[in-house]
Amino acid sequence: MLLDILTPAKHEFLEHCHRIRGLSQNTVDAYEQDIMSFAVFARTRLHLQQLDSQAVLAYLDYLRRERNLKPATVRRRMVTLRAFATWLRKAGQVEHDPFAGLEIDLRPPRRLPRPVEWIDVQTMLKADCNVEAGAPAPHREPPMLSSTTAMAIKLMVATGVRVGELTRIKLSDISNDGFRIRINGKGSKERTVYIGNRVLRAELQNIKRQTHPTVQDDRYLLLNKHRRRLTEQALRRRLRLLAAACNLDTPVTPHRFRHSAATFLIEGGVDIRFVQRLLGHSSIATTEIYTRVSDTALMQAVDDADTLGRMLSEFT
């Protein structure tokens, strides 16, 4: 029965991903969620006796038609199943590759990234929003644009770090001059990001100065009101509440700030290869999408050039 191999194998596969492949905990958690989705499907399809092409196609139809999931979600779950099936085959628990011979188009629709606009970033950083909009007085939130939230926004815009990377920055990761930050990225890959803004560098230096050197190895940069590490979920909530209080029209998420960082850098003339390194993209093809959204720089360049205007001026 299909379910018989899923439960015991799932834990071994996730352990393999974490210990051997060095995948981040977030990725492993996503894999676990995807495998659980397949297990829920298998529980309702008792006629499927093994993980074969029939099971794969039935699961694909289940995701698309019964669950009506977005193409990107369907793709992720099928990619996870394929990785799981490959591991099962190598472990001798599945005889044949269930994806062999299948022609499945899992390409999601090409969507341009949606950055937080420049003016919206300015609005959030200048915000005088001290309470959650609409909250009763006794249950009001502490100031939403705290120094911690402001620091998070500035770092996301300046460096494009992922939210998981940002919330795990320790003071020991920051150079004494505040110019370099060591980032532990996806797949345990380490990289360095650089702070080009002097004011932000001074803020980072000041935080390090105020903390005893013996404490810096363990102290996180972003702390909540209980002086513990600010979690990814808490930061997302802060940004959501701040955006609502500032009456912004579009959703604000940490990943959209990552898009902002890439777009602003490319519009500022930074070489795409440098942007690739800063963001930690393994392939430059991932970074190249930002060259298609730099309309602001294109419009400014065309306006400055005004080739038609220069040509017509010769006739006057």
- Which tens digit of pLDDT belongs to each residue from 136-183? 444 444 445 788 999 999 999 999 899 999 999 999 999 999 999 999
Tokens of 223: 């702390």
Residues with Cβ within 8 Å of residue 45, at least 6 apart in sequence = 2, 55, 58
| DSSP per-residue letters across 178-229 | SSEEEEE-GGG-EEEEE---HHHHHHHHHHHHTS-HHHHTT-BSSB-TTSSB
- Cβ atoms of 10 and 32 within 8 Å: the answer is yes
This model's pTM is above 0.75: no
- The CATH superfamily label for domain 118-302 reads Intergrase catalytic core (1.10.443.10)
- Residues identified as active-site: 162, 186, 255, 258, 281, 290
Q: What gap in Å lies between CA 264 and CA 282, rounded to an integer?
A: 20
Q: What gap in Å lies between CA 161 and CA 191, rounded to an integer?
A: 11
Burial zone of 263 (CB within 10 Å; 0-12 exposed, 13-18 middle, 19+ buried)? buried
Parse the chain into domains and list their residue ranges.
2-90, 118-302
- Cβ atoms of 190 and 232 within 8 Å: the answer is no
Tokens of 230: 């600010």
Residue-level pLDDT at 141 = 46
Residue-level pLDDT at 71 = 84
Which alpha helices (H) appear in 91-188, and where do they start and end? 118-125, 147-159, 163-166
Residue-level pLDDT at 218 = 87
The two most distant CA atoms of the chain are separated, in Å, by: 85
Residue-level pLDDT at 128 = 58
Residue-level pLDDT at 264 = 86
Residue-level pLDDT at 1 = 54
CB-based contacts of 47-52 (< 8 A; 24+ apart in sequence): 48/2, 49/1, 49/2, 50/2, 50/94, 51/2, 51/5, 51/85, 51/88, 51/94, 51/98, 52/96, 52/98
Residue identified by tokens 């099962």 is 88
Same fold, 2-90 and 118-302: no
Residue-level pLDDT at 80 = 93
Three-state secondary structure call for residue 174: strand
**Model confidence pLDDT, tens digit, residues 254-291:** 999 988 888 888 877 788 888 888 888 877 777 776 76
In terms of phi and psi (left: phi > 0; alpha: psi -120 to 50; beta: otherwise), the region of 145 is: beta
Q: For 2-90, CATH number?
A: 1.10.150
Q: What gap in Å lies between CA 219 and CA 238, rounded to an integer?
A: 21
Spans of the chain below 50 pLDDT: 129-143
Tokens of 69: 């999931």
